[in-house]
Amino acid sequence: MKTSDRPVDFGFEKVPWAQKAERVRAVFSSVAGKYDLMNDLMSFGVHRLWKHFTLSLTGLKAGQRALDVAGGTGDLAIGLARQVGKTGQVVLSDINSAMLAAGRDRLLDLGFAGNVECVLADAERLPCADDSFDCVTIGFGLRNVTDKAAALSSMHRVLKPGGQLLVLEFSKPVAPGLKPLYDAYSFRVLPRLGEWVAKDAASYRYLAESIRMHPDQETLLAMLDEAGFGQTRYHNLTGGIVAVHRGYKI
């Protein structure tokens, strides 16, 4: 079977490998205009704390370079730009032009023009030079990538030796009694909220399904190891609903 015909998860649905990226692109094109509002509503604003914690781990200094992969509307990129300052550089990348445009506009409105570049790019094939970034982040984007191993390898390639990768992503609840409540909220409330606010229940049903199909904490940790990262570990947030995985290019 050709790779392009191999089935891959799109939520709970199986689609040909070659079709997933386009299906994901359609989802985010549909919700781009309401993406930030929906994030606040869905998480009751807690996504801001998750991103703040992720940014607290970067170790970035003024003058350094950072890449935010699948960065969408730019939440992490804004934080990275503040950390590296005017003498540093941040690249915000996303595969979806509508999301990237929203991120670019936000960055411009906040005055980040000289040290931030927006690049339309596939996480699996980053158009960046080897060994060029001190830190790479990807927030809530890895689960949408067709070939996660290829994306991790690509991010490893563009990191400088000693540079750090931070993966912020939904994961598997570990707190006692949390899973049934989380499932009820994900499959009953989220699609209705998506229909009401974004006029798109299907995209938020996909969101809930894609979270369930994403590798759990230990599986993703092993994937970072296989991609060549060292000193790998993860931090569970909000009872494991979200986790931050991290590793260094040795």
pLDDT in tens, the chain (250 residues): 556 678 999 999 999 998 999 999 888 888 888 888 999 999 999 999 999 999 999 999 999 999 999 999 999 999 999 999 999 999 999 999 999 999 999 999 999 878 999 999 999 999 999 999 999 999 999 999 999 999 999 999 999 999 999 999 999 999 999 999 999 999 999 999 999 998 999 999 999 999 999 999 999 999 999 999 999 999 999 999 999 999 999 9
Its CATH class, for the domain covering 31-174+206-249, is alpha beta
pTM of the model: 0.94
> Cα–Cα distance between 53 and 45 in angstroms, integer?
14
| Structural domain spans, the chain | 31-174+206-249
d(CA 48, CA 168): 12
The token duo for 29 is 């094109």
* pLDDT score of 171: 97
CA distances from 63 to 52, 58, 81, 84, 196 (A): 20, 14, 10, 5, 44
pLDDT of residue 3: 61
Q: How far is CA 74 from CA 99, 107, 110, 220, 226, in A?
A: 9, 7, 11, 24, 29
- What pLDDT was estimated at residue 156? 98
Amino acid 5: pLDDT = 72
Query: What does the pLDDT read at residue 4?
Result: 63
Do 202 and 190 form a contact (C-beta atoms < 8 A)? no
